[in-house]
Amino acid sequence: MITGSIVALATPMKVSGEIDWEALRHLVGFHLDHGTDAIVAAGTTGEPTTMSFAEHFDVIRTIVEEVAGRIPVIAGTGANATSEAVELARYAREVGADYCLSVCPYYNKPTQEGLFQHFKAVAEGGDLPVILYNVPGRTCSDLYNETVFRLAEVPNIIGLKDATGNLERAEDLIERLKGSDFALYSGDDPTACEFMLMGGHGDISVTANVAPRAMHELCQAAVAGDSDKAHQINTRLMPLHTALGVEANPIPAKWALNRMGYAEKGIRLPLTWLSEKYHATVDEALQLAGVLEE
């Protein structure tokens, strides 16, 4: 089981929108050097919904090759077509990813039974351990706790990224799955510290893109139950957690990476570069977190 800080890695792009492969490899090295415990390749923050299949495959493959087995790689393989999600998971397995992260199908609004059957098909057809991903604010598809409990019994489904930010739901998940091998990860940085202190296993994090060392230390402390240390670090990072949400992810994160010198001003429509009115907000949060000194 992976524990700790798992970065939902942004995909560096050139101003033209072309993927910047050299910058991507450099960014992976930044995380290897700063304590990140695992990498999500082509998750939401990586902008896979604007990539061709070939680009999506190449991002996963490039990250796997650059990591070279030093930390786990989780491939983002979600899709709103079950057959496509299975195909992406199969490819991720072929190039050496360790797990896949499969989001609830978006736009078509399946029932709970539809979600169960979808993820069961991915687990059976993709032949790669599956981490479920529930983010109803983006998908309009909410994976209820009762369905998670059903899916936890399906072979090859090994965990959940819960990005609801609802700690009452998280407490129910943690309590009822206590003692099992099912991993529970926060996907909401502002509430992740409390999620882990309640018994969660880690955070699949946007903030880790720009503060990997601090997020590693926060997650390490919270998973170990060291409340004082975890809260101390989290208090310092809270302005950054908040600032990275002033516009849709990954807009603020990519601006921050550019500010830090890790990426050009590249993002793909329909997303646009961070509005100027938020530049000072994100910059101040980076400085408060000590990120610009790392």
Q: Tell me: pLDDT of 117 over 80.
A: yes
Average pLDDT over residues 98-126: 97
- Identify whether 108 is part of a domain: yes
* pLDDT tens track for 231-278: 999 999 999 999 999 999 999 999 999 999 999 999 999 999 999 999
Of the residues 161, 185, 254, 262, which is catalytic? 161
Average pLDDT over residues 196-212: 98
Average pLDDT over residues 204-209: 98
Average pLDDT over residues 101-116: 97
Q: Tell me: pLDDT of 191 over 70.
A: yes
The three-state secondary structure class of 157 is strand
- Identify whether 256 is part of a domain: no
**224: containing domain:** 4-230
Q: How far is CA 123 from CA 86, 105, 127, 219, 288, in A?
A: 8, 15, 6, 28, 42
CATH number at residue 23: 3.20.20.70
Rounded Cα gap, residues 169 and 181, in angstroms: 19
Into how many domains does the chain fold? 1
Average pLDDT over residues 24-49: 98
161 pLDDT tier (thresholds 50, 70, 90)? very high
Q: Tell me: pLDDT of 293 over 70.
A: no
- Identify whether 48 is part of a domain: yes
The answer to whether the bond into 270 is cis (omega within 30° of 0) is yes
- Identify whether 99 is part of a domain: yes
Query: Looking at the DSSP assignment, which residues form a beta bridge with residue 184?
Result: 160
Q: For residues 67 and 39, is the Cβ–Cβ distance under 8 A?
A: yes
pLDDT at 294: 47
Give the residue from 39, 86, 90 showing the smallest Cα distance to 63: 39
**Any binding-site annotation on 2?**
no
Q: For residues 206 and 165, is the Cβ–Cβ distance under 8 A?
A: no
Model confidence, pTM: 0.97
Q: How far is CA 51 from CA 74, 79, 207, 271, in A?
A: 18, 12, 23, 13
Of the residues 91, 99, 133, 185, which is catalytic? 133
**Any binding-site annotation on 158?**
no
For a pLDDT cut of 70, what percent of the chain falls above it? 99
- Identify whether 259 is part of a domain: no
The three-state secondary structure class of 71 is coil
The verdict on whether 91 is a catalytic residue reads no
Mean pLDDT, the chain, whole residue set = 97
The verdict on whether 161 is a catalytic residue reads yes
Q: Tell me: pLDDT of 153 over 60.
A: yes
Q: Tell me: pLDDT of 288 over 90.
A: yes
- Identify whether 276 is part of a domain: no
- Identify whether 126 is part of a domain: yes
* pLDDT tens track for 211-241: 999 999 999 999 999 999 999 999 999 999 9
292 pLDDT tier (thresholds 50, 70, 90)? confident
